[in-house]
Amino acid sequence: MNSTEINSKWRPWEKILFRFFSVLLLLLSQIAYNPLLEALGYTYRKQTSVLNKPLEGAVSWLDRYIFHIGYIPAEHTNDFSDTHFGVILFLAIFITAVTACILWTLFDRKAANYNRLYYWLSNYLAYYIFLAMISYAVYKVIPIQAHYPTAPELLTRWGDLRNWEVLFRFMGTSPAYCMFCGWLELAASLLILFNRTRVMGGVLMTISLVQVVCLNIFYNNNIILLSGILLLATIFVIAKALPKLFEIFIKLKPVSLAQYKYKFSTSWKKYTMIALCFLPVWKIFVVTERGWTFYKGVLHNQERQSLYNVTFFQHGNDTILPLLTDTLRWRYVCFLDYANTNDKMVIFDMRENQDIHKCKWDTVNQRIILLEKEPLHFSYTSLPGNNMQLNGYWRGKVTTIQLNKLNIDSLNLVKDRFLFMQEDQ
């Protein structure tokens, strides 16, 4: 970029848009995927408790006297997403950005441009986008964000699923698709960090996030607001390059995408920037380690999960027949085994409603302990053919249950192979 472009005069509407979006994105980035907490490895839930809990009183006051949306702290979550809390906080930040833009415009009429401020703000937002997106990218590459369906998920009726559950089911049945999306997000996250590749990374990230935002909207996933903020930040980062991209791809004219690189003159600022260069490496390592640990649990469960059909159910002195209208008798039982401390027992009634319990296997005393507020347990006896009998106390009466093991591979999920000639399926 030459000196003429550095000292170029921005048009009034460009300066107004910059003032508004710079304030808006700076404030939103402190609440949605806070960069410092992301860098320190805080999960989204931990960030919610650290940042949003102290804001509940302010949000309640704003809703009571200004917005009247109906936020009730005792009933509603304090997640900054598509919730009462998130919408109120977003509206407050939006109004603050509009007010700040008006005041900034009134008191800073002489500014010709904001090239330097835009450059440093773009660097900040590039790191912000990277820190927020790298977890999603790695969790798709491994892949665990949408894992292959478990036996209880395969037995769930399509009509009982919410739209976002359908989304994760269809993504999970094709790990290759998740991995492709993950590699795209990973490449975009890395490219957007550096000045030389920022435009390319921004374009790839925009393509990826447009798809994510559309899926969240059309499948009613409750992170529309969060993904929209990341998309808006990405467009802001490459905003100055958009007219040049139009010249290149539409008018087919040769245009330089080079941007002037501002530098710090003091030593401590230079060393701070060098230290920040190691942050992406550390973040990738932490996220990958965490994701791989979870993925090993998913693989372990795929190998160890077991599904049983209930062939006999005696409750007290009554032998309950397998009537489809009955809600007491069990129809299926599935045991999930992600790790020694993460076992689950999923009970299906005759209407195929699922009741999920955390459980613990006591192999010495041959008991299955349900970890409820008041722990229950069933003693189990192995029967021929890998079958099982349970004896215990269920809903007020002594209960005997016989389980017949089913082959999970027999469940209705067609595992298509990729073939160019589909007739060979």
In a domain, 209, yes or no: yes
Does residue 43 or residue 358 have the better pLDDT?
358
Separation of alpha carbons 124 and 262, rounded Å: 14
Tokens 């989304």 sit on residue? 167
In a domain, 425, yes or no: no
Instruction: Identify whether the C-beta of residue 178 lies closer than 8 Å to the C-beta of residue 171.
Output: yes
Position 53 scores a pLDDT of 87
* Beta pairing partners, 32: none
In a domain, 417, yes or no: no
Closest by alpha carbon to 7, among 260, 213, 327, 342? 260
Position 421 scores a pLDDT of 46
Percent of the chain with pLDDT over 90: 59
- Kindly report the average pLDDT of the chain as a whole number: 88
pTM (2 d.p.): 0.88
Each residue's pLDDT tens digit, 300-313: 998 889 999 999 99
Report for 31-40, 76-85, 140-149, 223-232: range of highest mean pLDDT: 223-232
Asked if residue 143 has a cis previous peptide bond (ω within 30° of 0), the answer is yes
Position 312 scores a pLDDT of 95
- Which of 251, 270, 295 is the endpoint of a domain? 295
Separation of alpha carbons 41 and 287, rounded Å: 8
SS3 88: helix
How many domains does one find in the chain? 2
Among 37-46, 118-127, 143-152, the minimum mean pLDDT is found in 37-46
Six token digits for residue 6: 């550095």
Does residue 397 or residue 282 have the better pLDDT?
397
- Which of 268, 295, 322 is the endpoint of a domain? 295
190 and 84 in a single domain? The answer is yes
Instruction: Identify whether the C-beta of residue 71 lies closer than 8 Å to the C-beta of residue 60.
Output: yes
Segment 11-38 shows an average pLDDT of 93
Segment 77-105 shows an average pLDDT of 94
Instruction: Identify whether the C-beta of residue 147 lies closer than 8 Å to the C-beta of residue 172.
Output: yes
Separation of alpha carbons 27 and 361, rounded Å: 49
Segment 119-128 shows an average pLDDT of 94
Each residue's pLDDT tens digit, 129-182: 999 999 999 999 998 998 888 889 888 888 888 899 999 998 998 889 999 999
Does residue 194 or residue 46 have the better pLDDT?
194
Does residue 173 or residue 260 have the better pLDDT?
173
Q: Which domain holds residue 384?
A: 306-410
326 and 207 in a single domain? The answer is no
In a domain, 301, yes or no: no
- Which of 269, 295, 321 is the endpoint of a domain? 295
152 and 272 in a single domain? The answer is yes
As a dihedral over the C-alpha atoms of residue 226, residue 228, residue 230, residue 236, rounded to 10 degrees, the angle is -150
In a domain, 273, yes or no: yes
